[in-house]
Structure 1
Amino acid sequence: MIQFALPFPAIDPVLFAVGPFAVRWYALAYIAGLLIGWQLARYLVSRPALWGGTSPMQPNDLDDALFWATFGVILGGRTGYVLFYNLPFFLEHPDEIVKLWHGGMSFHGGLAGTLVALVLFARARGIRVFSLLDVAGVVAPIGLLFGRLANFINGELWGRPADVPWAMVFPTGGDVPRHPSQLYEAGLEGLALFIAMLIAVRMGALKRPGLAAGLFGIGYGIGRIVGEFFREPDPQLGFLMFGSTMGMLLSIPLVLAGAGLVIYALRRPVP
């Protein structure tokens, strides 16, 4: 018997279409996250006081960094999904790897791809690597917020069965009320983390290279682990060791790396 559940808001995943060309909410979320994050990043580097008197880069540097970051997100996100979430399928169907419109992106892979891209960009431009990563850490929650909201609109990545008053029956989740875990993650990894990062900036985090990037790693990792307790594991993987999920296991190293970066940043003298 179906328990009481809120009706799922049936929002068309396609915002609008012109002939064969369709604009989807998911793609729009990526674009909005990148563009809004880019504008905020330009604002941050144009305020020398936030950096202790001298900004380590110019706003125009971020115009090119946006291209590098976009490439890193797409390439890394797809590679991470292929390797960690569905490798047997892609080994049997290698042509599906490039079909991004079929879905399948990994945040941890996208993070790794963006990290590599930004490090290469910073070295090519002579920019302090940790400072560029700090900027990325402050603005990244914006993209996470939009991305999780798009997951909700698409009715994907839904949560585990639940009897809470706000449980929903998702179109592809069977007739069982489930946690709207996409909204939980939007709140934790997106809105709450973004507010925390802005508070850190206000308290002088950008004056210590690596501190904001480390705080982001800790905040996202913890938020993702908490969210995974409510999210249904990917069906091809299920639960892993000790009842964990792939998202949890990939987040643990991120938390540890973030903590190490915070300790490193706090122990070094302010430039």
Structure 2
Amino acid sequence: MHTPAYITWNPNPDIFDLGFYALRWYSLLFLSGFVLSFIILKERFKNANLHLYLLEKLTMYVVLGTLVGARLGHCFFYDWEYYSKHIAEIFLPFQFGPFKVTGYQGLASHGGGIGIFLALFLYNQRFKKYVNLLWIMDQLALVVPLAGCCIRLGNIMNSEIIGKPTHVSWAFIFVQNDSIPRHPAQLYEALSYLSIFIVLNLIARYKPSKNGFLLGVFLMLTFTARFLLEFVKADQSDFEANMALNMGQLLSIPFILAGLALITFKRSGNSKPNYAEHEV
């Protein structure tokens, strides 16, 4: 009987390690997502005749919202049993007993999404006289899937967020976890997000729409993909073992419904930011 030639996956998560400092693939790919997003948005802000200062501030708000939201999301949604007893470690990049520098390990994308929305609310309070909030959200919807793709590629370099056991011919054996062939769930998700990035940018280029439409399509496609892919992903926490739908799926449902609402409901306005360049 023929035995499938599974892909043995055992990369070094560090690009280099100087002892006192190590650069990890995850960190590089995470940063690359933000850099590529900034480059794309810079061109769109320029075409909309908007001051780049607005984009620079937007980037600051979004980066902070992503990191804080993703960190808190992981701690509260997936590992509260541990962090409820180690509150300080939610905010500090090291653990006690024994002392160990860990960095901020554990980021949840749903928490990152919530963090971005809260950051945009604060951004809008400061800059609403210069730019339309829904237009800003539409622009972010065009680039967030690309950033998500980069992050999932970082996850596969870390051999984390692995898939369930399988015997498909393209299964990965994540050596750092076990010797069981598994779905490369991170790769599935990365390819899904890359496809969504392409679709959204084609819509933006060839089908002008009301403000909020691109955001709605983004939410519906991204979190529907996330909901479906959870069926081939290993549970991230033990408490999910007996759940009909896991935490990632339950958290995806409100985002899907919000996306459908944005696509369906009629809105006033157009696909323009509605504001000319201003001194800020």
TM-score, normalised relative to structure 2: 0.86
- 1:142 shift after superposition: 1.1
What CA distance in whole angstroms lies between the structure 2 residues aligned with 1:93 and 1:111? Answer: 24
Give the Cα–Cα distance (whole angstroms) in 2 for the partners of residues 91 and 5 of structure 1.
44
Aligned to 1:34: 34
Q: Deviations over 1:23-61 (max 9, x none)?
A: 11111122110111011011122224xxxxxx5x43331
Contact in 2 for aligned 1:122/1:132 (Cα 8 Å): no
In 2, the alpha carbon distance for the partners of 1:5 and 1:83 equals 39
| Residue 131 (structure 1) aligns with | 135
Query: What is the SS of the residue equivalent to 2:75?
Result: helix
Answer whether contact 2:211 2:267 (CA < 8 A) is retained: no
Q: Which residue of 2 aligns with 1:250?
A: 251
Post-superposition shift, 1:12?
A: 1.2
1:192 aligns with 2:190: no
Q: Equivalents in 2 of 1:111, 1:154: separation in Å?
A: 22
Q: Which residue of 1 aligns with 2:70?
A: 77
More helix per residue: 1
Letter in 1 for 2:16: F
CA apart distance, 1:259? 0.9
2:238 counterpart SS class: coil
**Matched residue, 1:52:** none
**Partner residue in 2 for 1:51:** none
Q: CA deviation at 1:156?
A: 0.7
The structural deviation recorded for 1:240 is 4.9
Answering whether residue 226 of structure 2 is matched by residue 233 of structure 1, we say: no
The partner residue of 1:110 within 87, 109, 112 is 112
Structure 1 residues 90-169: aligned runs within 5 Å? 90-98=83-91, 99=93, 101=103, 103-126=105-128, 127-169=131-173
Unmatched segments (≥5 aa) in structure 2: 94-101, 273-280
Task: Please list the CA deviations of residues 214-233 of structure 1 after superposition, one character each: whole Å capped at 9, or x if unmatched.
Answer: 11100111110121111111
Shift of 1:150: 0.8
Q: Which amino acid aligns with 2:80?
A: L
RMSD, aligned CA: 1.8
Structure 1 residue 181 corresponds to structure 2 residue 174:
no
Equivalent pair of 2:7/2:170 in contact (CA under 8 Å): no
CA distance in 2, matches of 1:69, 1:250: 20
CA distance in 1, matches of 2:9, 2:172: 9
Q: Which stretch of the first structure deviates more once superposed, 214-223 or 116-125?
A: 116-125
Q: CA deviation at 1:15?
A: 1.1
How has the CA–CA distance of structure 1 residues 269 and 102 changed in structure 2, closer, same or farther, with 3 Å as cutoff? Answer: closer
Q: Could you give the per-residue CA deviations for residues 155-182 of structure 1, whole angstroms, max 9, x where no partner exists?
A: 1111001010011211243221100111
Task: Give the conservation status (yes or no) of the 8 Å contact 2:79–2:237.
Answer: no
Identity %: 29
1:237, distance to aligned residue in structure 2 (A): 2.6
The whole-number CA distance in structure 2 between the counterparts of 1:44 and 1:8 is 42
Question: In structure 1, the residue corresponding to 2:7 is in which secondary structure?
Answer: coil
2:82 alignment partner in structure 1? 89
5+ residue gaps in structure 1?
A: 49-54
Partner residue, 1:64: 57
